[in-house]
Amino acid sequence: MKKNTRDRMIIGAVDLLRRRGVHATSVREVVRHSNTPRGSIAHHFPGGKRQLLEAALEQAGLEVSTPLATLLESQGLVEGLERFVAGWRQMLEDSQYQAGCAVLAVAVEQYSSEQRADVSPEQDDQIQQQLLDQAHGIFSEWQRIISRAMQASGITAQRAGSLATMIIAAIEGAVALCRAARSAEPLDVIWQELRRSLEREQA
């Protein structure tokens, strides 16, 4: 299905966040990367970079949470997570280890407006906190999805919450290591450790 201009801009922003981070994901770069008219930004995102980043974060979150929930429901806990990790591996390989997690990029970088004359440092700080809250909410949703699957497999709620946090942190960290190493080996190693831990929990 053909994407409309707004969707193309959001998808372009997500890809730039994955590859280059927050600072490089400027309105100008998104327009160029998504091959969309510059005038469309004001129409679709009157809030400028802030609004575009919020939409990109929402999209990036759904691109993980939707397949994650589907895989865990259809394949079960261990096999579902294995296929989920395989998806990250494929993304890394397809991007030649240039792309990581868009949500993590927002979580670790400081936001700054492109309109410096019109925005105070206090306003930038407020936007930064809003973006961090949004990223935190997305990470928390991923953890809830995994925790629910663990509880369905017989793991207690308290233990499931802790393990879900560990899994998200481990996968996010492994993706960063893979980009640095330009190899999928760190992700493969982490998954084998996670799999063994989950199988012990279910034994």
- Domain residues of the chain, as ranges? 49-202
Rounding to the nearest 10 degrees, give the CA dihedral for residues 15, 21, 26, 32: -30
- pLDDT at residue 118 tops 70: no
Q: What H or E segment, with its residue span, contains residue 9?
A: helix 5-20
- pLDDT at residue 119 tops 70: no
Q: What CATH class has 49-202?
A: mainly alpha
Q: What is the Cα–Cα distance from 26 to 12, expressed in whole angstroms?
A: 11
User: Nearest Cα to 58, choosing from 73, 45, 70, 71?
Assistant: 45
- Are 3 and 15 spatial neighbours (Cβ–Cβ below 8 Å)? no
- pLDDT at residue 38 tops 90: no
- Pick the range with the lowest mean pLDDT from 27-31, 182-186, 188-192: 27-31
- Pick the range with the lowest mean pLDDT from 15-24, 34-43, 194-203: 34-43
Looking at residue 154, its pLDDT comes to 93
pLDDT band with cut points at 50, 70 and 90 for residue 113: confident
Looking at residue 145, its pLDDT comes to 98
Instruction: Give the residue-averaged pLDDT of 102-115.
Output: 86
Name the average pLDDT for the chain.
Answer: 93
Instruction: Give the residue-averaged pLDDT of 87-98.
Output: 97
Supply φ then ψ for residue 112, to 5 degrees: -145, 140
Q: What is the Cα–Cα distance from 112 to 115, expressed in whole angstroms?
A: 9
Q: What is the Cα–Cα distance from 145 to 139, expressed in whole angstroms?
A: 10
**pLDDT over 70, % of the chain:** 96
